Structure 1
Amino acid sequence: MTDEELRDELLRRMRVDQAMRDPAKGFPGDRRLARLQRFDEGNTAWLYSVVATRGWPLVSQVGERAARAAWLLAQHATSIEAQRLFREVMAEAVERDEASPRDLAYLEDRVRVRSGRLQLYGTQFHDGVDGLEPMPIEEPELLDERRAAVGLEPFAAYEAFIRKTGDLGTADGR
């Protein structure tokens, strides 16, 4: 697969992913959730095969939009083991300025929350007693410092956005 073919396929998969998660469609019912699960499983397997054969899709290979599309597929990976691998290879790409540290922060938090650990960047929310609430955060007193280091806005602004819109999808590329 050429870099151009990979770019085109990443962008195509991102378009379908976002269309399937369109908040205007309302909360998905069982049938749509099952279809989404199958779609995510297919994307997980496909991205895993790309990473196994080519490594993480780098900005210099596929461009910023397609590199972000790879991250989006990693965010929605159905296998925690695959998601951990994606985080690891994406972190190596970030070190070489070939992927977004901001996107990696979201993936780091997603993997941590799915693993029963505290998140570092405060990107993951859930439905709580008083509406959307952040999942537990490690060392909250250092949160804004960690967020700034990866290019994220202060947590208070992010939390206000999440609470105002009620749309986790807009915030994490869902």
Structure 2
Amino acid sequence: MDYKNIAKRIIDLRDADLALRQRLVQNGLLGEGYNEEMEELHNRNATLLNDIIDKIGYPTIDKVGEEASEAAWLVIQHAIGQPNFMKRCRELLKTAVSEHRADPRSLAYLTDRIAVFEGKPQLYGTQFDWDENGELSPARYDRIDRVNKRRRAIGLNTLEEQTILIRQRAKHERETPPKDMDKRKHQADAWKRKVGWAR
């Protein structure tokens, strides 16, 4: 198996994702719903990565190196229109983390993202969204002391510290809250039903 070539392919998927995101940020097109071009890229990347996973299993650090393993996680994290793929990867990643072949922080982020899309409280407080005050805040989570204990166990800062950083980044990238929160919520709910996160 040519892991070096596979690693390069995974990194190329990540680079295409980040380049598109940067272009959308520069053009002020990030924030109002799920950008159509971004959705297409995320779905295409998920399909290509799924094919790779079919061949080699989860792209662990020992197989493809740290950079490509992190790149694979980013592609999975952004594959929000592919619930089955994300859940499959979460199970594979759980095994890889238990074998010390992947970063537990990757599993925390993926676990939280899936929980949020399923309407469940997150465990690590990694997922943020706009609140009614127009601020980025953590999506629903269980008790803050438990969240911070879990975060510390895998080397993350506190949720309070992370909230400050997330808000600073949004300001730097000129992200603004949606103009119509109710409309955005209805659109998000319809999209979740369409792709299979909700019924």
TM-score scaled by structure 1?
0.89
TM-superposed CA distance for 1:27, in Å, is 2.2
CA distance in 2 between counterparts of 1:96 and 1:105 reads 16
TM-superposed CA distance for 1:62, in Å, is 0.9
Amino acid at match of 1:123: T
1:127 and 2:130 matched: yes
Deviations 1:124-163 (A, max 9, x none): 1111122111100023221111001111111111111112
Aligned residues: 168
Aligned to 1:163: 167
TM-superposed CA distance for 1:53, in Å, is 2.3
1:61 and 2:77 matched: no
TM-superposed CA distance for 1:96, in Å, is 1.3
Amino acid at match of 2:40: R
Deviations 1:1-50 (A, max 9, x none): 510111000111111111111133322499x9222111111111112222
Counterpart pick for 1:27 among 26, 29, 42: 29
CA distance in 1 between counterparts of 2:15 and 2:113 reads 21
Aligned to 1:46: 48
TM-superposed CA distance for 1:58, in Å, is 1.1
CA distance in 2 between counterparts of 1:42 and 1:165 reads 27
Amino acid at match of 1:59: I
* Structure 1 runs of 4+ with >6 Å offset: none
Name which of structure 1's ranges 125-134 and 32-41 shifts more when overlaid on structure 2.
Answer: 32-41
Aligned to 2:156: 152
Deviations 1:64-95 (A, max 9, x none): 01000000010011211110111110111111
Aligned to 1:37: 39
Amino acid at match of 2:8: D
TM-score scaled by structure 2?
0.78
> Which secondary structure state, in structure 2, belongs to the residue aligned with residue 126 of structure 1?
strand
Aligned to 2:188: none
> Which secondary structure state, in structure 2, belongs to the residue aligned with residue 152 of structure 1?
coil
Amino acid at match of 1:7: A
CA distance in 2 between counterparts of 1:68 and 1:87 reads 14
Task: Provide structure 2 residue ranges, at least 5 long, that are not aligned to the other structure.
Answer: 174-199
1:86 and 2:110 matched: no
Q: Retained in 2: the 8 A contact 1:67–1:99?
A: yes
1:118 and 2:134 matched: no
Task: Provide structure 1 residue ranges, at least 5 long, that are not aligned to the other structure.
Answer: 170-174
